Structure 1
């Protein structure tokens, strides 16, 4: 009975698929955070430039 359980456990790929989807989601999240940080820096620079220009 234990032998068949181990064989079925080795053949079951649902857990591996879930892990792969989790890794893909994590990679997308890291890419999104990186892109948003870059965009945030650009917005800060733009607002600083506008504020400085309007103050003069």
Structure 2
């Protein structure tokens, strides 16, 4: 009886260890790290600052067109 209990305990222990290893591997393989997220945000903000005037002009022309087209409805 004691041998069966020790066998079950050892199987549970090895299963827990395997699950822990699997979780640790998945944690490092998937997901965006903070550094990657910060770098992406910096690039997006830099592009917005570089093309600020062009974006403002584009948005203004789009809204002007929407306003002029909506008056015909």
**TM-score if structure 2 supplies the norm length?**
0.51
Aligned positions, number: 51
Mind listing any 5+ residue stretches in structure 2 that lack a counterpart?
Answer: 54-73
Structure with max Cα Rg: 2
Q: Which runs of at least 4 in structure 1 moved beyond 2 Å after TM superposition?
A: 11-14, 28-33
Say which structure is richer in helix: 1
Give matches, 1:11-50, under 5 Å. 11-12=7-8, 13-32=10-29, 36-37=32-33, 38-50=35-47
Gaps (5+ residues) in structure 1? none
RMSD (Å) for aligned C-alpha atoms: 2.3
TM-score, structure 1 normalization:
0.60
